[in-house]
Chain A
Amino acid sequence: AQSVTQLGSHVSVSEGALVLLRCNYSSSVPPYLFWYVQYPNQGLQLLLKYTSAATLVKGINGFEAEFKKSETSFHLTKPSAHMSDAAEYFCAVSDPGTYKYIFGTGTRLKVLA
């Protein structure tokens, strides 16, 4: 069964600092991986997705993620944090056999002025 683990339920960074949010997956087949962001009282917005075309994936708002098969990881990064990045971030894997997305438990990012 596929699963996703996000390390760190809360991450704090200073404005302008590097953002690193961790995601590890477990999958018996090549996975399709996604990062979503959720602002308070909102739905989920897609940041980026990995579908095996390229291991380094660039998304919206300056975020990118690198797929590392050897480490079964898909960590999300942003070189310089902005106050508006404060939100909850979810890593997800899609399971085409069951037509569902399996989400990690989320990481709440706090950006300090």
Chain B
Amino acid sequence: KAGVTQTPRYLIKTRGQQVTLSCSPISGHRSVSWYQQTPGQGLQFLFEYFSETQRNKGNFPGRFSGRQFSNSRSEMNVSTLELGDSALYLCASSQATGGGTEAFFGQGTRLTVV
């Protein structure tokens, strides 16, 4: 069974640009979550999608957005990039059938903003 796939693995962007990151969940998983990981703030929740609906959003500015497609694949977009957006962005998928359902993480996309 293929794991969670994130593309691209590495990105370098310039301040002010926008970026789109992609996540393909494990087959059969309908929930996709996104997290930002930085040395200073650790792992922070961005948003979660289930069956194309955003069920929850973390405390991030509106420049961060996402969507989920009918095949459960998800994208997140960051507009007007700032230096502080440099981070490892992790996508996780789960069956989301209950609170004890584990999340499976992709390898992440390392975004560097210069």
Contacts and interface: CB of A to CB of B under 8 A. Distances in A.
What range describes how many residues of B lie at the interface? 20 to 34
Nearest to A105: B42
Contact of B45 (A43, A49, A96, A100): A100
A51 interface: yes
B50 interface: yes
B107 interface: yes
What range describes how many residues of A lie at the interface? 20 to 34
Nearest to B45: A100
Nearest to B103: A101
B75 interface: no
Q: Which residue of A43, A52, A90 has the most chain B CB atoms within 10 A of its CB atom?
A: A43
Contacts of A45: 105
Contacts of B106: 43
Nearest to B42: A105
Contact of A42 (B98, B99, B108): B108
Contacts of A90: 43
Contacts of B6: 43
A99 to B, nearest CB: 5
Shortest beta-carbon contacts, A-B, top 10: A96-B99, A51-B100, A43-B105, A103-B43, A44-B105, A32-B100, A100-B45, A99-B48, A43-B107, A32-B99
